[in-house]
């Protein structure tokens, strides 16, 4: 995508008030390899886009991430954070809340062999969740909004969110790696497995966890 065309597309998105519209499964942009960000937007436009993506993510109940393809932009950019409302619950489970983070051109690799199954949902597949087995610890290479190159390690919920959002930039949805026997409405996941986790779901629905 030419820089001027991308800039025009972003400006058009930002010209509309309110949360940005989230693209739904079936739109080809969600299945494309996103174009790497290499300065196609000036600093002001990039900053405004990140702010609007954050506002959109935070306007949706329980959302923990949003990738540029989900707002119709084929661009290597995503934002993520765990909502404050989830922080106490995560800490009680021995997990660390994830602060607001910008991922530009991210990539990841597993650290160690441990994989963990966990329920995931997606703003582009609303109302449904499924168990996905992922590495529990990863090393991430990314740029931040200032263009700084960073190499970091994430584990637990942070690792899962980073993998989910980075996969969006590669044209993947969480369903591509999901255990389909676990596929459930979000309501069922909350009511049946919210307190017990995927272990009980695996036993009762008949699928294996790593």
14 is in an annotated binding site: no
Strand residue runs (E) in 1-124:
65-67, 77-80, 101-110, 115-122
Q: Which long-range CB contacts under 8 A does 5-12 form with residues at least 24 apart?
A: 6/35, 6/40, 6/41, 6/73, 6/75, 7/40, 7/41, 7/42, 7/45, 9/72, 9/73, 10/41, 10/45, 10/49, 10/73, 11/45
**Which residue numbers are catalytic?**
165
88 is in an annotated binding site: no
190 is in an annotated binding site: no
Can you say which residues are annotated as belonging to the binding site? Answer: 122, 164, 168
Can you say which residues are annotated as belonging to the binding site for Fe cation? Answer: 122, 164, 168
């Amino acid at each position: 995508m030419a820089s001027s065309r991308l800039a025009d597309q972003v400006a058009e998105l930002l010209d509309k008030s309110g949360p940005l519209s989230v693209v739904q499964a079936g739109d080809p942009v969600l299945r494309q390899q996103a174009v790497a960000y290499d300065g196609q937007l000036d600093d002001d436009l990039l900053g405004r886009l990140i702010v609007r993506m954050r506002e959109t993510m935070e306007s949706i109940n329980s959302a923990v991430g949003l990738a540029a393809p989900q707002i119709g932009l084929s661009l290597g950019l995503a934002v993520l954070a765990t909502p404050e409302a989830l922080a106490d619950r995560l800490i009680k489970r021995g997990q660390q809340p994830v602060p607001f983070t910008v991922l530009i051109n991210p990539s990841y690799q597993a650290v160690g062999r441990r994989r963990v199954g966990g329920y995931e949902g997606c703003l582009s597949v609303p109302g449904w969740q499924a168990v996905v087995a992922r590495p529990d610890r990863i090393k991430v290479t990314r740029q931040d909004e200032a263009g700084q190159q960073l190499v970091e390690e994430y584990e637990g919920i942070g690792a899962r969110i980073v993998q989910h959002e980075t996969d969006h930039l590669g044209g993947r949805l969480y369903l591509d790696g999901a255990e389909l026997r676990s596929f459930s409405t979000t309501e069922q996941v909350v009511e049946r497995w919210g307190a017990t986790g995927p272990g009980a779901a695996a036993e009762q629905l008949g699928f294996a966890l790593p």
